[in-house]
Amino acid sequence: MGNKLRYSFETYAVSGARKGDKSTGAISYPLYLSATFKHNGLNESTGYDYSRLQNPTREEAEKTIALLENGKEALAFSCGMAALTACVHLFKSGDHVILSEDLYGGTFRLFDEVYSVYNIEASFIDTSDINKVKDAIRSNTRGIIIETPSNPLMRVTDIKAISDICKAKNIISIVDNTFLTPYYQRPLELGADIVVHSGTKYLGGHNDVLAGFAISNNEEIIEKLRFMQKSTGAILSPFDSWLLLRGVKTLHIRMDRIQENAIKIAKWLECNKNVEKVYYVGLNNHKGYEVNKEQSSGFGGMISFRVKDKKYVENLLSNLKVISFAESLGGVETLITYPFTQTHSEMPEEIKRKLGIDEYLIRLSIGIENIDDLINDLKSVLE
């Protein structure tokens, strides 16, 4: 476990790890653009030498995210995939890794195409079924990577159950917490070894920064990840670190408004005659509803749904006025995405169809706009 927090999540989100700059009194933590730092003499470092190794603004972003996830340390990367790539370097040739089968297409590509040539084996299974996880474990299994809720079908995996399995068998557990953020879910408190984020999404929150994080309480893992961070150089820039810090200040406010909108939209979609199925963990008929309530304090703002007729897909993607047709998620703007040709385009078609990621599936990332405007926008193309 991380340190016991003295203040609330909201207070740390607003104040950051250092409550501004101690030397100047600046409330907004300064943007340090220097690539290198002056030494006062031989073996006399200020603690900062070269910004690939550490930068004061990036350090503040890392310490703030570590506080919010209740972890010992966080490491900030240039994007979410860079953070996950650093985690993959914890494994070696001949190791086997289990992953959620319903997960971001870029993660699938990383294991299926990039690291497979280094003989890191990957099995993609339904991790919401704990028995399937147990059955998939081999003698060389060294890691289990889950998304919960998953992307795009919102499957919920029991984090504590996975963590307990991993601890019993000396396997590293990695949880992608991008969808719910540390405001609603803190996997380290449930026993996970590592939490990863695409900070581009809700943490930044304004579709203006690329960022990634890996957070842990395990000192050995932290040292290995920091070594990979400085060695590969996929670090978060000072300016992007500053943008991330600014975005995090309103994370709790944004998430509450996003969730409020999402619940109303999910219920509206459920009642629409042209919608076949709605996937949202905040609906009490969702398969993972109870598990999510047990391990999280909220449901987030991600919704997927299936239309009954493909004609509504083009209508949705072409004629919405308030909602934008765009990749990504987690910003203040509501976005609509077509996983079949966008986020999961590089998954083999037979796997996509097996999972139900087909021409009928639509994904929504709910924003903070006026709820009536959002529903009326959907109504204009679905009725």
| pLDDT means over runs of 10, the chain (383 residues) | 72 95 92 94 90 96 98 98 97 97 90 93 97 98 98 97 98 98 98 98 98 98 97 97 98 98 98 97 97 98 97 94 96 95 80 86 97 98 92
Are residues 186 and 75 part of one domain?
A: yes
Are residues 184 and 74 part of one domain?
A: yes
What φ, ψ does residue 36 adopt, rounded to 5°? -140, 165
Are residues 65 and 161 part of one domain?
A: yes
Return the beta strands (E) in 131-263 as ranges.
141-147, 172-176, 194-198, 212-216
Cα 56 off chain centre by: 24
Contact 17, 64 (CB under 8 A): yes
Q: Which residues pair with 123 in a beta bridge?
A: 98
Active-site residues: which are they? Answer: 52, 104, 176, 201
Are residues 57 and 201 part of one domain?
A: yes
CA dist list (Å): 88 to 122, 186, 242, 362: 11, 21, 27, 30
Are residues 151 and 224 part of one domain?
A: yes
User: 220, 248, 276 — which closes off a domain?
Assistant: 248
Are residues 228 and 171 part of one domain?
A: yes
> Any idea of the CA torsion for 108, 113, 119, 123, to the nearest 10 degrees?
30
Residue type, 148: T
Q: Which residues contact 231 (CB under 8 A, 6 or more apart)?
A: none
Residue 305's domain spans which residues? 251-382
Element (H, E) at 245: helix 238-248
pLDDT given at position 3: 54
User: 210, 229, 248 — which closes off a domain?
Assistant: 248
Are residues 154 and 283 part of one domain?
A: no
Which residue carries 């399995």 as its tokens?
A: 165
Q: 54-67 burial, b if ≥16 CB within 10 A, otherwise e?
A: bbbbbbbbbbbbbb
Are residues 113 and 34 part of one domain?
A: yes
Residue 358, token pair as written in the block: 């087909």
Q: Which residues pair with 143 in a beta bridge?
A: 97, 172
In whole angstroms, give the CA distance from residue 144 to residue 165.
Answer: 10
Are residues 235 and 287 part of one domain?
A: no
Instruction: Give burial (CB, 10 Å; 0-12/13-18/19+) of 287.
Output: middle
Are residues 191 and 48 part of one domain?
A: yes
pLDDT given at position 1: 39
* 3 domain residue, yes or no: no
pLDDT given at position 65: 98
- The tally of domains found in the chain comes to 2
Prediction pTM value: 0.95
pLDDT given at position 4: 62
